[in-house]
Each structure stands twice: as C-alpha cells, then as structure tokens.
Amino acid sequence: MRRLLSAEIQGFRAFGGEYTFDLDADVVILSGPNGSGKTSLFDAILWSLSGQLPRFTGRDSQAISLYSPSGSARVAVTFEDDAGHQMTVIRTASSEDRSDVLVQTPTGRFDGGAGDVKILETLWPSALLTKDSVAAFCMAFTRSVYLQQDLVREFIESDSEEERFTVMSELLGAGRLNEFLRELERDRNSWSRTRTERAREASEAELRVSQIRTRLERLRQSAGQDIEKLWKDWWGDVRSFGVTESEPTLATTEAARLVNDALGALLAQRRAVERRRDGAQEFLREWSERIQSAPSATDVSQARREQQELSVQLERSRKELSAAQEAAARERERLTQQHETHEELRSLATLALRHLGERCPVCEQKYPVDETRRRLEQLVAETPPEEQPAPMAQVEDLARRIATLERSLAALAVELAEAERVNSDARAWSESRARRLEELGLTRQATPADLDRLIAELSLRAHTMSELYSRGEAVALSVASASEAAQRAELQEQLASAQHVAEERRRALSAHEAAGDAATTILDAARIAARELVDARVNRIEPLVERIYARMDPHPLFTDVSLGTSYRGGHGRVQPLVADPAAGLKNQDPYTLFSSSQLNALAVSLFLGLNLGTREAPLQVVMLDDPLQSLDDVNLLGLVDTLRRTKALRQLVVSTHDRRFANLLQRKLRPVGDDGRSRVFSFSDWTESGPVVETDDVRTEPEQFRVAAA
C-alpha cells in the first residue's frame, strides 16, 4: 500500500524554519486556526512529488518562504511503495527559479530528470506516455488524492464537461486512449488540409492540360486559313476605328509587336466607349426619374407682387392700430376721471347727509333742508353709466385684420421659399444636363430620345470593337504560327508532360483519400472503444459514489446521484446528475439547484468515489484540507461516518480549523487495535520561523460498546 511515512520541510511557504512530521499513521489529523500552516503541509507533499503547485501559476520561487534563512526551500517526503520499500523524494528550490529533485530508493539514487521519471514510474506510470507528464500526474493527484480547500467544487462548477471527461479518463485508465484519439483527430485535420492542397494541385494540372490542348486546337484551325487575307481585313477594320492611320506589311519582323500594340490601343478605346455608354445610361436613368418626380419651375413674380401689397396693407393697418390705441387710451382716461369725480361726489353726499341739520354745518346759514336732502340722497343712489370707449371696437377690428394679414404673409413667404427652392433646383439640373450633354457630344437641346439613340450607337460600337479584338487575337496567333510545326511539336511535348503530372497528382489524391477513409474508420472505431471503456469504468465506480453520497445525505429530495456520459462531435463529456426518485425528476446542473454546502458535499462524494474507485491512484491516501469550511453540520457527520469506513482502505490526512471537529475526528477515527495508529498535529502561534506544532497519538480504545450505569 502506497502511503505517506514522513515529511521534512524547511523554508517552504508557511514553514520558515525546519520541521519534521511523522505521518506513519492510519489517520493524521491537522488541527489549528486558519493561516497557521496546515495547507502548506499539503502543498509541500504535492510540490515535492510533482514540482508544481497548480493553485499557483508562476515561478518556483513562489514556493519559498519569505522568512527562509537560506532564501531557498527544501521538502523531503518519504512514502512506502507497493513492495513495502521506502522511497524518499527530496526537492529544493532557490530564489533564482531553479528546482532540483533527488529520489532515494533501496536500489539507488536518482536526480534531476531521472528522479522525476522514477517518481512517475512508481506513482503514475501512465503519465510517462503523455506529452506533459507532470500535468497528467498533478491532475490525477489533485482529483483523487488531495482535495484542496479552495478548489472543493472545481470538479462540478469550474471544469467543463469535456475537462471532466479527460479527468475521468485519466483516473480510470483510458487517458492514453483518449490522447491517441486527440492525436488521430489532429492528424486527420492535417490530412484534410493536405487533401485540399492535393486537390488544388490536381485541378491546376488538369487546367494546364486543358490550356495546352486549346492552344493546339487554335494552331490547327489557323493552319488552313489565309493569313494574308486575315491580316488585310483586320487592319482595314482597325483603321476605320481610328486606331491606326496606315496598314503595316505582314512581311515585317515587327508584325507581332504591331498587332499587340494595335490590340492594346483597341482595348483602351473600347473601354472608353463602354465608360461613355455606361455614363449615358446612368444619365438617362436620372433624367427619366427627374421627369417623373421633380416639380417644374414656376413664375414667382405675381406672388412677390402680392407679398409687397400685403406688406403695404400690414404697415398701414399697424399705423391705424397705433392711432386707434392712442384714442382709446385718451377715452379710457376721460372715463376714469369722470368715474372718480362721481365717486367723490357720492362720498361728499354721504358725509353731508350724516351731518345735515337746520343750519348748514359749514356756514351756519339756513337752507332748504328737504330739497337739499333729496338732492344728496339722489347723488348717493345714482350709479354712473358703464360706457365703452368708442375707439376700442376699432382697435379690435384692426388687431384682427393685422393678424389675418400676418398669417397671409407667412403662408405666402413659405410658398415663395418653396418655389425659389424648386426654381433653384431646376436651374442647377438644367445646367448639369447641358454640361453632361455636351460631354457626351450632344447639343444642349437634345432630348431623352436623342440620348437613347446615342446609347444604342455606343453599345453597337463597343460590341463591334469586342469582335474586332477577338479577330485581332486570331491574327496575332496566326502571325505567331509562322514556325507552326516547331510550335506544335513543342506543345505536344508540353501536353504529354502535363498529362503525366496530372495523372500522378490524381493517383496521389486517390491514395490520400483512401488513407483518409482508413483513418476515419480507425478514428470511429477508437472512439467507440474509448466510449465503451470509459462507460464501463464509470459504471463501475458509480455505485460507490452513490453510497458515499447517500451516507452524506446532502439534500432532502435529490437523494440519488449518477455520472452521465455523452458524446457530441466526437468528444466525450461527463456530467454529475442528481435525481429525486420519488418525483421522478433528474437535474444535470446541480449548481443551479443546490446550496453551497450541498454542492460541496456532492464534490466530496465524487472525490472520495474517484479515490476509492481508482485502482492505481498515485497514493492510497485521502488528503482533505479543512472540509469543515465547505460543509454544514449534517453533511459533516455524514463525511465523518464515510471517513470511518474509508480508513480501512486508505490512509487519511485531514486538516481542520475547528477544535470541536478535530475532537470528533479523534473519537470517530481512533484506532481500535494495537496495529492501528492515529496522530494529531496541533498548529498554533505562527511566527516568522513558522507555527508551533505539538504532536500527540490518539489513545487506542479496542472496546466497541460501553454500558452506562443506570
């Protein structure tokens, strides 16, 4: 049984000084507060065996304690191999990012690369067959031996379905087969790219054969033609288009060059004609759209006269309104004064009535009292008439008239602005049309019908020039065939060579496709074999995971768990499935259904299932780093019960920050015989050199039952 025996640590992470841990026990309990060095002990074991800390990405110097006196780290881990022999792995790291390893065995010493190979041969031999052996070993170790406290749920939440499948394949013995599948698929993709290249090469070879055959056919056609007649007719037509003024003789040594020059000039002229035709077609389309949609220009002189007349009327009405407003103001002032005078007389009459007697209260003279009283009472009772100033009616009429004139002027201004815009647009279009007609060689008075006729003439001219260009190519070929016999013999040789190359490339393509079909057959068969192997291994450990999950009992309804495998696009996937058997429900995304503690319980169940179900785990050890931080009390009791049943099969190394949980572990996992041993390491009082560590063995209690007194 591969189990841990001891660990010597110096200058590694939380351990600045020198520490020795005797781990030769069935159960090792690490107890102490957070940050006291428990996780550093687990990491020291992993780093010593692999040389890596997957939780930390960076240099080896990150493993060195800041308080290391030597500025380096050293970890020596001793374990027992399958034959019962002790093996010690000593790994050191310096601040210069240098890491060395030494392996001591009863058969010899191994250092450097040989030491790493010896570790893998002993703990995880299949990793030696991979491209990244250390990564494969670390993945197996952290998924089946060492459950890190900050990565408890990684297998459920962080890993993708394909990553889970890779992990399961590695742990269950199908890792190399899946690597073979990935390599074969990469090779098939490379084959596909090569096939495309071979197909392109074969197509090019076929095209080359076709081109040579076409040239030979042209030579055969031109052999029976009268070259002199072709030459004379073609140059006559070329002169009619103004390309050249004279006709060169066929006998000149410059005949081929002259034909090529004429062809170039003819091509340039044809393209100019086509551009002129395309421009005329676009111009005709714009003209037709303009005729259908654009409004025509209008005479605005009458509107301007109306605007001027309305402006004069408005100005005159405003002056009249101003005069009427002044008259109305004077009338309102007169009426106001009249009203104030009447009110004053009423007030005086009221006062006089109050003091009226036989004699005048002012001059003490006699006066007709009754007549005076009637007069005063009449003044008090009299109400002044409500008079409307006569000019106000005129003001209101003038105001309405001015408002009407202003609205009329505003509407007329809008009409004038729109008419001016239309007239300006019409003038711009007229100028543009005249300019473009002149550019096309037409008069300013030309109509769309004239433009349509021009387009037809240009199209005919372009077509004629295109035919003339084709005839010119035939003339050039005829001129070039002066040494026709030699050319035909040379082309025949080229054709034979091209046909041979094309045939070779067709055979290579056919062989490549046959190899691809064979590779596809092998790949499909290998995928089926990998699928069957992984499914069989998953089915084998699934009952174990179910029992552990049921014992921990994290959820009141979803009490069943299984591992679902699927295959899409040639890639395997693994999902943890939880089920409610009473309701007949299944859920493939437990992280959307479970609480954090329930997810942790599920992750621990999967971890223990993989540990116990993996026949050749790197170590027959279960290393749990502070699971209490991930589980609630109910799940924790289930975990303790599971660990109690597991300790007969695995060495247990469990850390906790909770003293009560440590005491529970001591009671539940205590040895029950003389051949058993449980050790407790208590961490406290962390200093620069590291924590204070006290060691104690748990007392053996062989009796299984105790009877309490009544």
- Over the stretch 11-58, which tens digit does the pLDDT of each residue have? 999 999 999 999 999 999 999 998 889 999 999 999 999 888 876 655
Say yes or no to pLDDT of 466 above 60.
yes
pLDDT at residue number 710: 46
Mean pLDDT across 583-611: 79
Q: How far apart are CA 557 and CA 416, in angstroms?
A: 84
Say yes or no to pLDDT of 425 above 50.
yes
Residue 580 lies in a domain: no
pLDDT at residue number 253: 66
**Which of 7-16, 126-135, 520-529 tops mean pLDDT?**
7-16
Please name the residue that has the structure tokens 């990244």: 132
pLDDT at residue number 56: 67
The CA-based dihedral angle spanning residues 207, 213, 218, 219, taken in that order and rounded to the nearest 10 degrees = 130
Residue 72 lies in a domain: yes
Residue 100 lies in a domain: yes
Q: What is the tens place of the pLDDT at every residue in 241-263?
A: 777 777 777 666 677 788 888 88
Identify the CATH number of the domain in which residue 89 sits: 3.40.50.300
pLDDT at residue number 89: 95
Residue 112 lies in a domain: yes
Say yes or no to pLDDT of 587 above 50.
yes
pLDDT, averaged across the chain: 80
Q: What is the tens place of the pLDDT at every residue in 268-284?
A: 888 998 998 998 899 88
Decide which of 422 and 180 is more confident. 422
Q: Is 247 helix (H, G, I), strand (E, B) or coil?
A: coil
Q: What percent of the chain has pLDDT over 90?
A: 13
Say yes or no to pLDDT of 223 above 70.
no
Q: Tokens for 419? A: 């008419």
Q: How far apart are CA 235 and CA 475, in angstroms?
A: 10
Residue 673 lies in a domain: yes
Q: How far apart are CA 230 and CA 55, in angstroms?
A: 86
Residue 110 lies in a domain: yes
Residue 430 lies in a domain: no
* Range with lowest mean pLDDT among 512-526, 559-573, 649-663, 666-680: 559-573
Residue 367 φ/ψ region, left for φ over 0, alpha for ψ in the -120 to 50 degree band, beta for the rest: beta
What does residue 580 show for φ and ψ, rounded to 5 degrees? -105, 100
Domain encompassing residue 100: 3-145+617-697
Q: Tokens for 64? A: 């060195």
pLDDT at residue number 371: 84
Q: How far apart are CA 306 and CA 69, in angstroms?
A: 106
Say yes or no to pLDDT of 395 above 60.
yes
Residue 654, number of CB atoms within 10 A of its CB: 25
Residue 325 lies in a domain: no
Which one, of 67, 83, 85, 80, lies nearest residue 10 by Cα?
A: 67
Rg (CA), the chain: 55
Angle between helices 448-480 and 227-240 (to 10 degrees): 150
Q: What is the tens place of the pLDDT at every residue in 675-705?
A: 788 999 999 988 888 999 999 998 876 555 5
pLDDT at residue number 557: 84
Contact between 99 and 60 (Cβ < 8 Å): yes
Identify the burial level of 534 via C-beta atoms within 10 angstroms of its C-beta, where 0-12 means exposed, 13-18 middle and 19 or more buried: buried
As beta bridge partners, residue 412 has none
Question: What's the number of domains the chain is made of?
Answer: 1
Q: Name the amino acid, one letter, at 45.
A: I
* Range with lowest mean pLDDT among 7-16, 22-31, 91-100, 478-487: 478-487
Q: What is the tens place of the pLDDT at every residue in 326-364?
A: 888 888 888 888 888 888 888 888 888 887 777 777 787
pLDDT at residue number 73: 92
What does residue 99 show for φ and ψ, rounded to 5 degrees? -130, 130
pLDDT at residue number 160: 55
Residue 381, number of CB atoms within 10 A of its CB: 9
Which one, of 152, 151, 175, lies nearest residue 163 by Cα?
A: 175
